[in-house]
Amino acid sequence: MINTLDPASQAFLAGVDQIQQRLDEAQTELTTGLKINNVSDAPDQIADLWQTRSDLDQVDQISSNLNNVQTEVNTAESVLENAVTLVENAQTLGAQGANGTASADTRSSVADQLGSILQELVAAANTSVEGRYIFSGDDDQQQPYSIDLTQTDPVSAYQGSSSTRVALAANGTTFPIALTAQQIFDSSDPTTNVFTSINNLVTALNNNDSTGIQTAQSGLSTVASYLNQQLSFYGNAQDNLSAATTDATNRTTQLQSQISGLEDTDMTATITDMTQTQTQMQAALGAEAEIPKQTLFDYLA
């Protein structure tokens, strides 16, 4: 292909093309609000931008996970608060049964009420959140306990597993968020075993065993203290979650600010640049129009 344009015309068209490219880029920035719309817009900043976006995605996921864990921990804390109240009620009932004037029928009635409390405590141990047994350790699809009050030992053996669940904070640290029902209600130490202690009291009441009633009833204070210690675990977990959530929120804000600094358009500067570029285009076209145009006839005249 033969180029019929003289060098001056070629230079003019190249200049106009550059001006038009700047106009197009400015228009794109104003439309999208972004100064980086393609890799070629800022190749030296793309790696930083992608890394920062990746960091933000990771923090967003951690925040979502923390919110999910918060629901579980709050539920567990509420369940244990109720469990503490149930044990306190059991203490009150035990005191009634331990009264030297209580008849065998009265003690049998108290035993029935304690059986109902034991059922409520087993139900607490079997609490589930979003299809997960939260006190069943890592085997969270397995119900921890079953209960049959007609049996001498009415509460089944623990059916769950140990718990290794931890929450991950945005700063990379982890903290525990779950205890098992076995740790909470079914301690290997009989003096702090909630199920065993209440069942011992039920048995003594049904047997009208004054000495056994006194022993079992007095032991409930140790059980109540132990259960409050397990409750404090979830209070600490709530505090850790609150701190981790606040940290994640702060990191999100910081990363969003970094991304904005890397890719957001300075609207004022872009509008100014666009206006100046349009002026340059008009000036270039005007100057070209003023250049005398000679033809072959001008030379033959």
Of 242 and 291, more confident:
242
Residue 18, in any domain of the structure:
no
Mind giving me the DSSP string for 63-96? HHHHHHHHHHHHHHHHHHHHHHHHHHHHHHHHHH
Q: State the pLDDT at residue 299.
A: 46
Report yes or no: 280 and 18 within 8 Å, Cβ to Cβ: no
Residue of 182, 176, 167 lying closest to 136 (CA atoms):
182
Q: What share of the chain is helix, strand, coil (3-state, %, to 5)?
A: 70, 5, 25
Strands (E) across the chain are located at 128-129, 132-133, 166-168, 174-176
- Whether residue 287 lies inside any domain: the answer is no
Q: Is residue 83 part of a domain?
A: yes
**Do the domain assignments include residue 35?**
no
Tell whether the model's pLDDT for residue 172 goes beyond 90.
yes
Is the pTM value of this prediction over 0.75?
no
Q: What is the pLDDT of residues 142-163, one digit of tens each?
A: 999 999 999 999 999 999 999 9
Dist. CA 245–CA 116, nearest whole Å: 39
Rounded-to-integer distance, Cα 17 and Cα 280, Å: 12
Mean pLDDT of 40-50: 65
Task: Tokens for 128, please give them.
Answer: 């589930």
Residue 155 lies in a domain: yes
Helix (H) and strand (E) counts in the chain: 8, 4
- Residue 67 belongs to domain spanning: 55-258
In a domain, 269, yes or no: no
**What CATH number should be reported for the domain holding residue 195?**
1.20.1330.10
Instruction: Look at residue 258 in the predicted model and tell me its pLDDT.
Output: 82
Q: Is a pLDDT exceeding 80 seen at residue 293?
A: no
Percent of residues, the chain, with pLDDT higher than 70: 71
140 within some domain: yes
Per-residue model confidence (pLDDT) at position 17 = 60
Examine the pLDDT at 193 and tell me if it is beyond 50.
Answer: yes
Higher-confidence residue of 147 and 53: namely 147
| pLDDT at site 71 | 93
Cβ count near 267 (within 10 Å):
11
pLDDT of residue 283: 63
Output the CA–CA distances (angstroms, integers) from residue 256 to 47, 52, 251, 269, in the order listed.
Answer: 16, 8, 8, 21
pLDDT tier for residue 49 given thresholds of 50, 70 and 90: confident
Query: Does the residue 66 lie in any domain?
Result: yes
Kindly state the tokens that stand for 118: 């034991």
The mean predicted confidence, pLDDT, of the chain is: 84
What mean pLDDT is predicted for residues 74-102?
95
Residue 186 to residues 33, 189, 198, 201, 261: CA-CA distances in angstroms?
60, 8, 11, 16, 56
Query: What's the pLDDT tens digit per position in 91-133?
Result: 999 999 999 899 999 999 999 999 999 999 999 999 999 999 9
Q: Is the pLDDT assigned to residue 280 strictly greater than 80?
A: no
Render pLDDT for 201-258 as a digit per residue (tens, 0 to 9): 999 999 999 999 999 999 999 999 999 999 999 999 999 999 999 999 999 999 988 8
Task: Report the number of distinct structural domains present in the chain.
Answer: 1
pLDDT band at 279 (very low <50, low <70, confident <90, very high): low
Give residue 212's identity as a one-letter amino acid code.
G
